[in-house]
Each structure stands twice: as C-alpha cells, then as structure tokens.
A and B are shown apart, each in its own frame.
Chain A
C-alpha cells in the first residue's frame, strides 16, 4: 500500500544517505564541527573550529585521518583542509534552490553520527556584509536555527545533491547557508593559490581632506591622494597619475589606504575593476586590471 508520508520518508532517507557520505566531522582545538568533501582529499570546514595547521577528520566509518589546513576564505569563515588518502567521494553539487524548496540540513553529532533535519529555503538574498570591506554576493537562509552539529555541514536537495554549506550565523532565527557554487569556487581558489590572493594596483597613497569645491555632488569628504606609482604596475598602465585622488573602488568609497587594501583582498586578481578618480575638479572612472604584488620587496 502506498502512503504519501512513508514514500516521502523513504525519499528523504535516500537523499540523506547519498548526501551525508560527503559530510565528515572535523576536530581542531575547539569543539568539533562538520565539514564537506568538495574534491578528492579536500574538505571545506568552518575556520573557527580548526587550528592553524592540522585537523583531525572523522569519517562516516568512524575512522580518523589527519589533514592540514591549506588556507582560509576569510569572508566566508571557511578553511580548506587536505587529507591525503581520504577516500571519500566528493559531494555532487545541485542547482541553486529557490525560496520555498524543501531542503535537508545535514551535519554530524558529537559522536560522529549523521544528524539531519528537514527544512525549507526561507530566503535567497544578499549580498551579505561580513566585515568592513568584504561581502558574500549571495546567501541562502533556511527556516532552522543554527545548531552546533549542523555548522559546517551541507544543505542538500531532494536528490541528495549539495546546494550549500551551513554556517553558525543566524539572521532573525534563520541560519545562513553559503551557496555551494560560491564555496566551491573560493575553495578551489585556495587550493590553487594557498589562500585568498591579495590584489595589487601599484600605488602609495595617503588620506586627504577635500575642500567643498572638489567634492562635487557626492559629498565624500576624504579620498586617497596618490603619492607614488610603481613602474609597470596596473595603475600605470591605466594612466593614473601622482596627484590623482582615488574616491571609490568598484563604487565603494575609500577614505583610508587600509580600506583599499582590504577591498583588494576579494577575488579581483586578473579582473578589471573601476576606480573613481578625482583629477582636479573632474571625477572620472578608470578601469584597472588588478594584478599581483611583485614577489619580494613590494
């Protein structure tokens, strides 16, 4: 006899079986958290749960393996851990969910067992500010409060594919989930470059106060006066001059050199960004292809 509830239960349990295979438990110097295997021998897990160097990973079988931290995706609060010979098949990524979709949050209990809860996608939104100068372009929120065993775990769809990585942050009672596509991209970046890459423009600058006349109609009182330009650097190619005042980076006002430094920590290397530059009374937009700091002696 077919019954809609028992059919649904079977399908949910099947999806959980499939997705939880790629959800492991990680131990650092703090309480354990969950982690997701995103490629062969590679796991993403909450940076806060891990030490700087090594991490112990507990597999679904109960066996443990030692891994080392390759780097961090600062804005997402995630770390990438490599565990040689992990032998767990990486998670399969599903299409990004829509609001209202049923989803399964999967983590690991303290004793290492699978913990799963059925929920629904409550919000798909963003960008989400994570610090003064970094943001995550898109986030999912689920109708479920954060739970320690789910932190670092996976949000799966009905086919057992993974659509997101669960955080311990809550916004008005909903848990923030990072879309799998964004996490995977950031994680692969770390594997390739050993961490978030610092972008480089090739300037020295100092904060200046602009007189009313130079502010125009955007009212920004401070800007970054360019005091030096590095030879053969991205800004030299773009035609920036000593004496120009940088007002904004990709539309974000910059009033201190540190703010620009932090903004350049996003994934900008190799891409063109727009600088709003004040030259005399004229505000112009300049396109600059962000480079990397020349090795040694920057």
Chain B
C-alpha cells in the first residue's frame, strides 16, 4: 500500500450506528461470517454495510478502512 499524502482527517458523512458496529468488528479481525453471526444479520447485509463504510471513509480495503477509522477516532483500541 503506497503512502498517499495525508488527507485531513475529516469525515464527510457520519457512519450509522450499524456501520460503526461493523467497522469496529472488522478492526477486531472478524470475518464477515462472524460479524453476521454477532449482529444477527446476513453475510449479504454485512457486505452492504461495509460498502457504505468504505464509501464514507474513502477506503478501498478493510485494512484501509480500519486505518482511517483509527485515525478518525471512530475505533477505540
């Protein structure tokens, strides 16, 4: 992953509570299947939320979404 110039850590559109939950579970290294089970939703819905998270964070991968989420203070560690 190449280092891009650091963008300002600003979130244009807030995550919904569900999207936030999904992002936090991704950060904890859970697979979509585990996330679906934990939240009582289908794999398909997890992917749907994740796509929305990627869009809002401008991320193209799980790793990137987690990195942005950490820098933005969306994920506590």
Contacts and interface: CB of A to CB of B under 8 A. Distances in A.
Given A200-B77, A293-B76, A296-B21, A52 B67 contact: no
Contacts of A74: 29
A195 B33 CA distance: 13
Given A198-B28, A198-B29, A200-B77, A261 B70 contact: yes
Contacts of A198: 27-29
Given A258-B67, A293-B24, A297-B21, A264 B73 contact: no
Given A265-B29, A293-B28, A206 B71 contact: yes
Contact of A202 (B9, B33, B73, B76): B76
Contact of B75 (A52, A194, A298): A298
Contacts of B63: 258
Contact of A228 (B27, B30, B73): B73
Scoring B34, B67, B70 by chain A CB atoms within 10 A of each residue's CB, the highest score goes to B70
B20 A297 contact: yes
B71 A203 contact: no
A258 B28 contact: no
Q: Is the interface of B mostly helix, strand, loop or mixed?
A: helix
Interface string B60-77: 000100110011010111
Interface residues of A, number: 30
Interface in A186-222: 194-196, 198, 200-207
A196 B34 CA distance: 13
B47 interface: no
B70 A230 contact: no
Interface residues of B, number: 21
A4 B38 CA distance: 60
A85 to B, nearest CB: 23
A250 interface: no
A227 B2 CA distance: 26
Interface in A251-295: 256-258, 260-261, 264-265, 293
B17 interface: yes
Contacts of A52: 31, 33
Nearest to B23: A298
A53 interface: yes
B66 A258 contact: yes
29 contacts: A194-B34, A195-B29, A195-B34, A196-B29, A198-B27, A198-B28, A200-B77, A201-B77, A202-B76, A203-B76, A204-B73, A204-B75, A204-B76, A204-B77, A206-B71, A206-B73, A228-B73, A228-B76, A256-B67, A257-B77, A258-B66, A258-B67, A261-B75, A264-B77, A265-B29, A293-B28, A297-B24, A298-B21, A298-B75
Interface of A: 52-53, 74, 194-196, 198, 200-207, 227-228, 230, 233, 256-258, 260-261, 264-265, 293, 296-298
